[in-house]
Amino acid sequence: MKGKWNIDADHLMSRIETLAGFSDAPKPAVTRVLYTEQDLAARTWIKALFDSSGMTVTEDALGNTFARLEGDDPEAPAVATGSHIDAIPHSGRYDGTVGVLGAIEAVRAIQAAGLRLRRAIEIVLFTAEEPTRYGIGCLGSRAMSGILTPDMIRALRDEDDGTVEDARLRCGFTGPLESVRLERGQYHGFIELHIEQGPRLETTGTMIGNVTAIAAPATLHVTVSGEGGHAGAVLMRERHDALVAGAELAQAVEAAARQSGASDTVATVGIFDIHPRAVNSIPDRVSLTVDVRDIDGQRRDDTADRIRAAATDIGARRGVSIEVSTLNTDPPATCGPVVRDAIAQAAAELGHSCTDLVSRAYHDTLFMAEICPVGMIFVPCRRGVSHRPDEYSSPGQIKAGVEVLASTLVKLASQ
């Protein structure tokens, strides 16, 4: 089946370049944050592409955007695909965008082939996969799955104390938040095309990754309260240094992940803030944010429990108060066999090498798994680099991913 799909890789790469231009950072970096001027301009451009493809376009109350190519059976649940276009500050141009623009190209190729399909195909442009503005990732898909309730959304605030509610209304997304949630079974299946954000495909010379499971995070916020004082006047035996206690806890985070016995368990202290942050003052307070991930939810939660136990022990030994709160515990996802089988068959028929792998980053697909069977198609990215301006996937690699996506959509939409 090599050459079945007429994928215009040059045109697709040109569109990726154009989308990268909607940015608050100069090239080659991309910064595109939710509900900003650049985000809204990029959305308008994407919607124009949907319109030019002859698809029906709708938006929900958060700005999740849906473009639908109708099938022959209007009662049959559609097959969905898509990703996001928001970008963290000073990142690259391929993360998320390949899954949106690649989906548009896949649908164009299906239309050009003159195929009639039983099920509709729907492209979803998700709102805010990145946690940049409101501190929570996958805002749109969390709300669609019901994991994030309307009241939880209304409570979210950015660094300027602005609310999601005010921002979305200013941007013209005026429907009730209660209408965003989708029913389970809304889709027959969902597939997300994405760069791997890891080195395995490139290292092994494999063209396609067929994702088996998606790791999910538990996020902990830790506050260590000790006693401040003059760096020269307080003797070592009298100290209750919040920084030193926090540093010991950071090491305990690493140890807790290693103690799980599984390579899929990872834990990271990504934020470590110190008060009062003066060279001649003993820190009296530190705060840490801890990210714990695994494809096994129980094993991840056990790791978080070891971190909490370590906090209790360190606090008692060092005479400081350590409070640990849980910001979120998302469920890991296992990709659906019906979708994974379709991806594997598509890759084989097209002559593209394919391997099973785990997604250690999480994506909107993680939350779509609450609605329908899901799968992800990974394509290689150079050196596994992502979230940086030098993020890169070649035209040939992206073209192969779009070909597999088109075949997978046809297989599922024909069921």
Mean pLDDT score, 181-192: 97
Q: Is residue 323 part of a domain?
A: yes
The residue among 402, 337, 397 whose CA lies nearest residue 103 is 402
Question: In this predicted model, what pLDDT tens digit does every residue of 371-394 receive, in sequence order?
Answer: 999 999 999 999 999 999 999 999
89 and 62, same domain (yes or no)? yes
State residue 32's pLDDT score.
98
Q: Are residues 57 and 109 in the same domain?
A: yes
From the CB of residue 45, how many other CB atoms can be counted at a distance below 10 Å?
15
- Whether 3 has a pLDDT exceeding 90, the answer reads no
Write down how long the chain is: 415
Which pair of structure tokens corresponds to residue 51? 């319109």
Token pair of 166 as six digits:
């005010």
Q: Is residue 1 part of a domain?
A: no
CA–CA separation, 143 and 327 (whole Å): 16
> For residue 3, is it within any domain?
no
- pTM of the prediction? 0.92
Q: What percentage of the chain carries pLDDT values higher than 90?
A: 98
Average pLDDT of 340-362? 97
End-of-domain residue from the set 329, 358, 378 = 329
Do 226 and 258 belong to one domain?
yes
pLDDT digits (tens, 9 = 90+) for 123-172: 999 999 999 999 899 999 999 999 999 999 999 999 999 999 999 999 99
**Predicted confidence band of residue 121 (pLDDT cuts 50, 70, 90):** very high
The whole-number pLDDT of residue 329 equals: 92
d(CA 106, CA 407): 9
- Pick from 329, 349, 373: which residue ends a domain? 329
Same domain, 81 and 211: yes
How many structural domains are present in the chain? 2
Six-digit token string for 52: 């030019």
User: Residue 4: pLDDT band by 50, 70, 90 thresholds?
Assistant: confident
User: Do residues 48 and 130 share a domain?
Assistant: yes
Does some domain include residue 347? yes
pLDDT band at 45 (very low <50, low <70, confident <90, very high): very high
Its domain, for residue 310, covers 216-329
Q: Report yes or no on 392 lying in a domain.
A: yes
Instruction: Mark whether 305 and 361 lie in a shared domain.
Output: no
For residue 4, tell me if it sits in a domain: no
Q: Are residues 311 and 277 in the same domain?
A: yes
Distance CA 382, CA 194 (A): 13
Q: Is the domain of 141 the same as that of 164?
A: yes
Asked if pLDDT for residue 313 goes beyond 70, the answer is: yes
Token look-up 């469920």 returns: 331
Roughly how many angstroms between the first and final C-alpha of the chain, as a whole number? 20
For residues 107 and 253, membership in a common domain is answered with no
- Kindly tell me the sign of the dihedral angle through the C-alpha atoms of 50, 56, 59, 64: negative
The answer to the question of residue 308 being in a domain is: yes
Q: What is the pLDDT of residue 1?
A: 40
Mean pLDDT of the chain, nearest integer: 97
Check whether residue 68 and residue 172 sit in a common domain. yes
What percent of the chain has a predicted confidence (pLDDT) above 70? 99
Tell me: do 210 and 224 sit in the same domain: no
* Confidence (pLDDT) at 2: 42
Mark which of 290, 313, 329 sits at the end of a domain: 329
User: Within a domain: residue 2?
Assistant: no
Looking at the structure, tell me whether residues 18 and 79 fall in a common domain: yes
pLDDT tens figures, 261-301: 999 999 999 999 999 999 999 999 999 999 999 999 999 99
| Mean pLDDT computed over 218-240 | 97
Mean pLDDT along residues 82-87? 98
Task: State the CATH number of the domain containing residue 250.
Answer: 3.30.70.360
Crossing angle for the helix pair 97-112 and 37-52, to the nearest 10 degrees: 10
